[in-house]
Amino acid sequence: MPRRLSSNRRRLSLKLLFGLCVLVLGACADNELTWSTVKQKIRSDFPGVEQLSTEALRERLASGERPPVLLDVREDAEYSISHLRGAVRVDPGDLTPSVLTDLDKDTPIVTYCSVGYRSSRLAHQLQQQGYTHVSNLEGSIFEWANKGYPVFRGEEVVREVHPYNRKWGRLLVESKRSDTPRP
């Protein structure tokens, strides 16, 4: 006849099994953080927002035509490490940035953040407010920097980007990460 586990041992076994499941699921979730899944999530959550490729923005900025208004939708600590040349920082929670008050509703605007979620949210909000030429930089500053395109601190070209935090910073090439991640 098989031995029955005592209730204490059974509880301990269940706790260990639960803990193991949490560890495995956590590891799987961390491994699922890829550019493909991030971009898919952004496109799913903001289907009406045009996603502009980093190559297309780079070409447009180099073309000599009037550049779009670049809105950096990151915290000040992120922006102060580096940003795109000419970008204006707006607070991620500011759904009506004052920098836009004097702009025509048909002014070309490109939003970006670390990977594109916060900036897509702002782009969507601006569309709701009647701005007609708003797009989000797909992959945002992480993808821009990963491709070796220039980022700036003031007018100086720099090599590093704020990684936002350890989890999201994994999408940024290690040599491009500043040493200032949030926990």
Helix axes 35-45, 117-128, angle to 10 degrees: 20
Mean pLDDT of 142-151: 98
Verify whether residue 113 is a known catalytic residue: yes
Exactly one of 113, 126, 145, 171 is catalytic; name it.
113
- In this structure, the strands spanning 134-137 and 109-112 are parallel
Q: Give the range among 11-15, 31-35, 73-77, 170-174 with minimum mean pLDDT.
A: 11-15
- What is the overall mean pLDDT for the chain? 86
Structural domains of the chain, with CATH: 35-176 (3.40.250.10)
pTM of the shown model: 0.81
pLDDT band at residue 20 using 50, 70 and 90 as cut-offs: very low
Burial 120-133, CB ≥16 within 10 A → b, else e: bbbbbbbbeeebeb
Q: Pseudo-torsion of CA 41, 92, 132, 51, nearest 10°?
A: -30
Q: Pseudo-torsion of CA 146, 149, 152, 157, nearest 10°?
A: 110
Q: Contact 66/85 with Cβ under 8 angstroms?
A: no
